[in-house]
């Protein structure tokens, strides 16, 4: 397995990777609809690639197994999406991608890495918590994170929380 920055030629494969990753939700009755939900389009991926905020993991044959994309927002690097093909999940690929994103946050000189996720889905908030992320208390949410959560709620995503990882000593 090899982790590297995403290239333009990879973009065509990323929607398929994200759709495969989302099959993890098919087993959860209240979130099963996410397995058929819209995924990031090529234009959105292109913006992350152009800004140097997208990475992929590929196997020995060059097949893309997962990706992560992030961008600087205020004083934070925000993880916009992380997806690992359903059949490749649970093998440490997500953790490798997260390590790369945390490294990029340090390189960018920001204070923290942030994200929003499902609080009670085992491979969401608990996975990030084991990596060192902490849930941002409702009362401590910045306007930016509050806005993201409000936008997600408007799209029918309930049970979400914001998390942060301090990347500066």
Ligand X SMILES: CC(C)(COP(=O)(O)OP(=O)(O)OC[C@H]1O[C@@H](n2cnc3c(N)ncnc32)[C@H](O)[C@@H]1OP(=O)(O)O)[C@@H](O)C(=O)NCCC(=O)NCCS
| HSE-up (13 A, CA, CB side) for residue 101 | 35
Task: Specify the pairing of strand 160-166 against strand 134-135.
Answer: antiparallel
Note whether 151 binds ligand X by CB under 6 A: no
Residue 3 and residue 105: Cα distance in Å, rounded? 17
CA distances from residue 57 to 76, 95, 98, 132 in whole angstroms, order as listed: 24, 11, 11, 22
Note whether 13 binds ligand X by CB under 6 A: no
CB 142, min distance to ligand X, A: 18
Closest CA to 67 of 37, 40, 34: 40
The closest residue (CB) to ligand X is 94
CB 88, min distance to ligand X, A: 6
Pick from 10, 55, 77, 83: which binds ligand X (CB under 6 A)?
83
CB 78, min distance to ligand X, A: 12
Note whether 70 binds ligand X by CB under 6 A: no
Note whether 84 binds ligand X by CB under 6 A: yes
- Note the residues at the interface with ligand X (CB under 6 A): 21-22, 24, 82-84, 89-95, 117, 122-124, 127, 130
């Amino acid at each position: 397995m090899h982790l590297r920055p995403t290239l333009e030629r990879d973009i065509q494969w990323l929607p398929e990777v994200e759709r495969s990753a989302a099959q993890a939700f098919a087993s959860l009755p209240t979130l099963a609809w996410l397995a058929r939900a819209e995924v990031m389009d090529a234009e959105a991926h292109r913006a992350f690639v152009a800004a140097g905020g997208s990475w992929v993991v590929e196997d020995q044959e060059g097949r893309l197994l997962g990706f992560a994309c992030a961008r600087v927002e205020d004083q934070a690097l925000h993880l916009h999406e992380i997806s690992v093909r359903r059949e490749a999940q649970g093998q440490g690929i997500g953790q490798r991608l997260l390590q790369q994103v945390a490294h990029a946050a340090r390189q960018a000189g920001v204070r923290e890495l942030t994200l929003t996720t499902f609080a009670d889905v085992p491979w969401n908030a608990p996975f990030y918590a084991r990596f060192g992320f902490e849930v941002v208390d409702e009362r401590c949410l910045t306007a930016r994170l509050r806005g993201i959560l409000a936008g997600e709620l408007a799209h029918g995503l309930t049970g979400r929380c914001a998390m942060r990882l301090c990347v500066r000593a």
